[in-house]
Amino acid sequence: QVQLLESGGGLVQAGGSLRLSCAASGGTFSSYSMGWFRQAPGKEREFVAAITWGGGSTYYADSVKGRFTISREDDKNTLYLQMNSLKPEDTAVYYCAATLLVVYRALLRANSYNYWGQGTQVTVSP
């Protein structure tokens, strides 16, 4: 059983930056591929970024490519999402999630992930 706890959300002006963290406990963090998803009010949860176990591959939604960077520190059991050049449309609750899968198409889907954090709010003002 893996527990995930996100932090680092907040209010930022458009063009600003935030770094989200996701602390994992209760499992072998290095064995899991990790993902970030987000959900805005009235919208479905959507894929943001993913990183395979060992950090060998990273994947991004087109909407964040070039602005967001996903990374992990397995010795600290922590996942990160560096978000730069933030836009108002990035406003959402951001969730980290863990899965044992590594296939690209699987990592894009929320239902591929077994464990989820409680989410952290990111608000970008115009």
What mean pLDDT is predicted for residues 110-124? 97
The answer to whether residue 55 scores a pLDDT higher than 90 is no
pLDDT of residue 27: 85
What are the CB-based long-range contacts (under 8 Å, 24+) for 101-105? 101/33, 102/33, 102/52, 102/53, 102/57, 104/57, 104/59
Q: Please write the tens of the pLDDT for every residue from 89-99.
A: 999 999 999 99
pLDDT of residue 54: 79
Distances in whole angstroms, Cα of residue 59 to Cα of each of 28, 68, 96, 125: 22, 10, 14, 26
For the chain, what is the mean pLDDT? 96
Give residue 1's pLDDT band: very low, low, confident or very high (50, 70, 90).
Answer: confident
Q: Please write the tens of the pLDDT for every residue from 5-30.
A: 999 999 999 999 999 999 999 989 99
